[in-house]
Amino acid sequence: MLNVINTKILLAILAALTVIGGAVIYQRDQAEKTAAAVARASAILQQQQKNAEEQKERDEAFRRQVEADKKRHNSAAAHEGKTWKTYIP
């Protein structure tokens, strides 16, 4: 009789250890998935920041080019009146 009780207790302990082991494995798996998701999100964020900086540089270069073109265009228009003064039909 004592042997049967000891066997039942041993089986209960083994079942409890199995449940605990399963929970630990599940928790480790979830932690790995979370770490992988964080790494992917970090990589995406870095890429977006890099793209934003590149776009900002392109916008600034375009803005400088527009300003240079505007100055060049305005300077030609400033001398336009002089050409008509010397025009002889």
Provide φ and ψ at 79, rounded to 5°.
-95, 5
Distance CA(27)–CA(33), nearest Å, equals 10
- CA 89/CA 84 separation, integer angstroms: 10
pLDDT band at residue 57 using 50, 70 and 90 as cut-offs: very high
pLDDT at residue number 2: 80
Is the Cα torsion angle 22, 27, 32, 37 positive or negative in sign? positive
pLDDT at 1: 79
What pTM value is reported for the model? 0.55
Residue 14 has pLDDT above 70, yes or no: yes
How many residues in total does the chain contain? 89
